[in-house]
Amino acid sequence: MKSFITMPVVFALGASAACSSRPASETQGTPTPDTARVVRPAAGKEARVAIPVEGMTCAACSVALRTALRKIDGVKSVEVSVANKDAVIVYDDTRARPEQFVAAIDGLGYHAGTPARQ
């Protein structure tokens, strides 16, 4: 009689794979450690903007947004709230513009509202 050893299989799901509300096209192109960009400390004037975001339904959505926004050169910090349906970004205004944040949010398939400086 042959004996079989049963081993558990663990699947690692990225943020984009866990969210069922996002189209499959958005799960492609996720950065790996080899392709992720290193964000250097910013050295200009610090600004803060809040952007309403429609379409977020879960924590995976907030992780996807936070990851995309942090890749923009000049971004110092990002706070994304599914409950408040917004993203608050602190950035160097000599290296980044709110229009870039709106484009990144819209590019992920969400809808960004009008940015409001804080």
Domain 43-117, second-level architecture: 2-Layer Sandwich (3.30)
Can you tell me the distance from the alpha carbon of 109 to that of 68, in angstroms, rounded to the nearest whole number?
Answer: 12
User: Confidence band (pLDDT; 50, 70, 90) for 33?
Assistant: very low
CA dist 32 to 17, 90, 111, Å? 15, 24, 25
List the one residue out of 42, 12, 57, 50 whose CA is nearest residue 30: 12
| AA identity, residue 108 | L
84 pLDDT higher than 80: yes
pTM of the model: 0.65
For the chain, domain boundaries? 43-117
pLDDT in tens, 89-105: 999 999 999 999 999 99
User: What pairs with residue 116 in β-bridges?
Assistant: 50
Structure tokens at 39: 């964000």
